[in-house]
Structure 1
Amino acid sequence: MESLPATVASALAGADSETTDWPARRRRLTAVSVELQALLLTHPGPGLVALAEDVVTQLAAGAATTRRHRVDLAELAHQVLATHARACATARPDPVRLADWLLDLQLQHPDAPDVGLAAYAAALDDEGLAHYRDRAVALFTPLPVIGFGETGRYDRARWALLRVMEELAEYTEDVDLQLLVLTKDLSSGWHYLQVATVLRDNGRSGEALEWVHRGLDAVGGRGAALRLIDLAVEEHLRRGEPQQAVRVCREAFLARPSLDVYLKIRALVVHTDDWPPLRAALVEHLVRDGGHLAVEVYRRIVEVELTRRGAEEQELLVGWLHQLRGLQPDAFADYLDHIRTRHVADRALLDELTRRGF
C-alpha cells in the first residue's frame, strides 16, 4: 500500500515530455487505481481513505500541469475518487475533516474530477454537509457580481467555486443556494430571466416579479425583454392582476416601442372599454417620438390593424395614415404603394383609401 503514491509520482515525472512512453506510464497508473479498488475488500479503513486521498491529489495536480495527457489523468483521478468515496462509506472518517478535504481538492485543483456529494452522503452526514455548505457559502458570497453588459471574469478560482456551489445547490435542492449562484452573474437579460423563473417555479411570485422589473430596467427593451414581459404578464394574470399585466406592457412599450409589445397589450384589453383610449395613447407616443424606430413600429401597427377593420378602425387608420404622411412625406408614397400591393385583393380597402385621398 505504502508504495502506491511513489508509483504515481514516478509515472507522472516528466510525463509531458515528447520522448515519454506515455502508454506504459498510463498502464502503471491504471494498475494503481485497480489495486486501490482491490484494497476495498482486503484493507478497508482509515489507511485506505488516506492513501486514496494522496493518489487523487497527485493525479489532480498532474492533470493541471500537463497539456498532453490531461484527459487521461482526469479520468484516472475520477476512478480513484470513486474508490475514495466507497472507502469513506465504510471507514466513516471525521465528517468535518472529510468536508474540508473535498473542498480543498476542488479549490486547489480546479481541474480535479467533479465531486458528487451524493457519493459521500453517508460519510459526511449532517455535520459534514453543514460544514461543507457553510464554508463554501462563506467563500462564494464575497465574489463580485458580474453586472449587466460586463464580461464574465471566470478565473480558475471563481470557476472552481462556481462548480462547487452548483453541485451543492443541486444536491441539497436548496433554492436559496441556486439563487445565490445565479445572481452572481447578471451580465445579460437572460440571467435576470433565469432568476425570475426559478423564483416563479418555487412559488415566490413577488420576488420573481421584482427580478423581472430589474431585468427590464437593465435591458432597455432589448435581448430578453419580451421573455421577461411574458413572464410578468403570465404571473400577474395568474395572481388575478390583469391591470398590472397591462401596466408592465405599457411601460415597456413607452420605453422602447415594438409591434410585439403592442400586440401583447392589444390581446389583453382589445375586448374592453380600456382599449380605444389606450390605443390612442400608444399611437400618440409614437407620433411624439418621431424617430426612425417609432415610425417603423407605427407602420407595422398600421399593417396589423388593416386586417381588423370596422367603422371605428377605418377612421383610426385614416388618421394614422395622415400622421405617417406628416412624419415621412418623402417616403409615404412608396409606403402607400406597399400597402396597396399587399392588399391588392381587398377592393373595399383600396376604394376606401382612394375615397379618403390616398
Structure 2
Amino acid sequence: MDSLPATVASALVEADSESLDWPARRQTLTAVSVELQSLLVTDPGPELVALIENVVTQLAGGAAGTRRHRVELAELAHQVLGIHARACAETRPDPVRLADWLLDLQLEHPDAPDVGLAAYAGALDDEGLAHYRDRAVALFAPLPVIGFGQTGRYDRARWALLRVMEELAEYTGDVDLQLLVLTKDLSSGWHYLQVATVLRDSGRSGEALQWVHRGLRAVGGRGAALRLIDLAVEEHLRHGDAGEAVAVCREAFLTRPSLEVYLKLRALVVHTDDWPPLRAELVEHLVRDGGRLAVEVYRRVVEVELARGGAEEQDVVVGWLRQLRGLQPDAFAEYLDHIRSRHAADRDLLDELGRHGF
C-alpha cells in the first residue's frame, strides 16, 4: 500500500517526453487504480482514504503539468476520485476535514476532476456540507462583478471557484447560491435575463422585475431587450397590472423604436380607448426621432397594418403614410408604387389611398 504513491510519481516523471514509453506508464497508473479498488474491499479504513487522496492529488497535478496526456490523466484522476468517494462512504472520515480536502483539490488543481457532491452526501453530512458552503461562499463573494460591456477575465482561480459554486448551487438547489453565481457576470443583457428568469421561476416576481428594469437600462433597447420586455409583460399581466405592462413597452419604444415593441403595445391596448392617443404619441416620437431607423420602423408598421386589412387599418395606414412622406420625400413615390403593386387586387385600399392623395 505504502509504495503506491512512489509508483505513481515514477510513472508521471516527464510525462510529456517522447522518449519515454507512455503506454507502459499509463498501464502502470491503471494498475494503481485497480489496486486501490481491491484495497477498498480488503483493507478499508482511514489509511486507505489518505492514500487515495495522495494519488488523486498526484494525478491531478500530473494532468495540469502535461499537454500531451492531459485527458488520459484527468480520466484516471476521475476514476480514483470515484474510489475515494466509496471509501469515504464506508469509513466516514471527519466531515469538516473532508470538505476542506475536496475544496482544496479543486482550487489548487483547476484541471482536477469535477467533484460531484452527491457522491459524498453521506460522508459530508450536514456539518461538512455547511463548512464546504461557508468556505466556498467566503472565497467567491469578494470576486469583482464583470460589468455590462466588459470582457470577462476568467483566470484559473476564478474559473475554479465558479465551477465549485455552480456544482454547489445545483446540488443544494439553493436559489441564492445560483443568483450569487449569475450576478458575478453582468456583461450582457442575456445575463440580466438569466437572473430575472431564475427569480421569476422561484416565485420572487418583484425581484425579477427589478432585474428586468436594470437589464433594460443597461442594454438600451439592444440585445436581450425584447426577451426582457416579454418577461416583464408576462409578470405584470400575471399580477393583473396591464398598465405597468404597457408602461414597460412604451418606455422601451421611446428608448429604441422597433416594430416588435410597437406590436406588443398594439396587442395590449388596441381594443381600448387608450390606443389612439398612444399610437399618436408613438408616431410623434418617430417624427421627432427621424433618421433611417424611424423610416424602417414606419415601413414595417405599414406592412403589418396592411396585412390586417379592414377599414380601421386602412385609416391607420393613411396616417402612417403621411408621416413617412414627410420623413422621406425623395423615396416616398417609389415606396408608394411598391405598396400599390403588392396590393393591386385590393380595390378598397387603392380607392382609400386615392381619396387621400396617394
Where does 1:1-358 land on structure 2 (aligned, <5 Å)? 1-358=1-358
Amino acid at match of 1:156: R
Q: How far is 1:323 from its partner?
A: 1.9
Amino acid at match of 1:62: G
SS at match of 2:307: coil
Q: How far is 1:298 from its partner?
A: 1.3
SS at match of 2:146: coil
CA deviation profile, 1:180-238 (whole Å, cap 9, x unmatched): 00001111111111100000000000000000101111111111111111111111111
- Cα RMSD, aligned residues only: 1.1
Q: How far is 1:296 from its partner?
A: 1.1
Q: How far is 1:354 from its partner?
A: 2.1
Amino acid at match of 1:55: V
Q: How far is 1:311 from its partner?
A: 4.4
Say whether the 8 Å CA contact 2:253–2:261 is kept in structure 1: yes
- Structure 2 unaligned runs (5+)? none
CA deviation profile, 1:315-347 (whole Å, cap 9, x unmatched): 443232222111111111111111112212212
Q: How far is 1:102 from its partner?
A: 0.4
Q: How far is 1:301 from its partner?
A: 1.1
Q: How far is 1:291 from its partner?
A: 1.7
SS at match of 2:294: helix
Q: Distance in 1 between matches of 2:89 and 2:312?
A: 77
Deviates more, 1:299-308 or 1:251-260: 299-308
Q: Distance in 1 between matches of 2:349 and 2:311?
A: 12
Q: Distance in 2 between matches of 1:324 and 1:271?
A: 25
Q: Distance in 2 between matches of 1:222 and 1:342?
A: 32
SS at match of 1:305: helix
Deviates more, 1:218-227 or 1:318-327: 318-327
Q: How far is 1:309 from its partner?
A: 4.7
Amino acid at match of 1:271: H
Say whether the 8 Å CA contact 2:216–2:225 is kept in structure 1: yes
CA deviation profile, 1:60-90 (whole Å, cap 9, x unmatched): 0000010000011000000110111111111
Q: How far is 1:307 from its partner?
A: 3.1
Q: Distance in 2 between matches of 1:23 and 1:32?
A: 14
Identical counterparts, % of pairs: 85
**Would you say how many aligned residue pairs link Structure 1 and Structure 2?**
358
Q: Distance in 2 between matches of 1:274 and 1:331?
A: 33
Q: Distance in 2 between matches of 1:318 and 1:85?
A: 74
Q: Distance in 2 between matches of 1:273 and 1:309?
A: 20
Deviates more, 1:36-45 or 1:343-352: 343-352
Q: Distance in 1 between matches of 2:87 and 2:50?
A: 10
Q: Distance in 2 between matches of 1:240 and 1:206?
A: 14
TM-score normalised by L of structure 2: 0.98
Say whether the 8 Å CA contact 2:305–2:314 is kept in structure 1: no
Amino acid at match of 1:235: E
Q: Distance in 2 between matches of 1:356 and 1:274?
A: 26
SS at match of 1:306: helix
CA deviation profile, 1:90-132 (whole Å, cap 9, x unmatched): 1111111111110000000000000000111111111111010
